Structure 1
Amino acid sequence: MAKKLLLALGVAAISLTATACNTVKGVGRDIESVGEAGDQAI
């Protein structure tokens, strides 16, 4: 029982970490595209 709980917590932690990395990358791309659009407008 403890092994299953530990395994489930480990999988959840890994999946949350992977999701957070993708989110941060997406935000970085969005900020970069906004900056480029501002440069082009000026």
Structure 2
Amino acid sequence: MLIIFGLNDSKNSLKTYLKNIRKVADKNKAMSLKNRKLTMH
């Protein structure tokens, strides 16, 4: 889900992805179901 979307960012900056994943993780816990459909490109 987010990992697939993050793989594209990891190519540009893995550090930024790690920082974002932590911030998104909190919101993702609540929106995981909603984000799942949005990040399912």
Query: Normalized against structure 2, the TM-score is what?
Result: 0.35
Which is greater in Rg? Answer: 1
The structure in which a higher percent of residues are helix is 1
Structure with more contact order per residue of length (Cα contacts < 8 Å, sep ≥ 6): 2
Question: Scaled by the length of structure 1, what TM-score is found?
Answer: 0.34
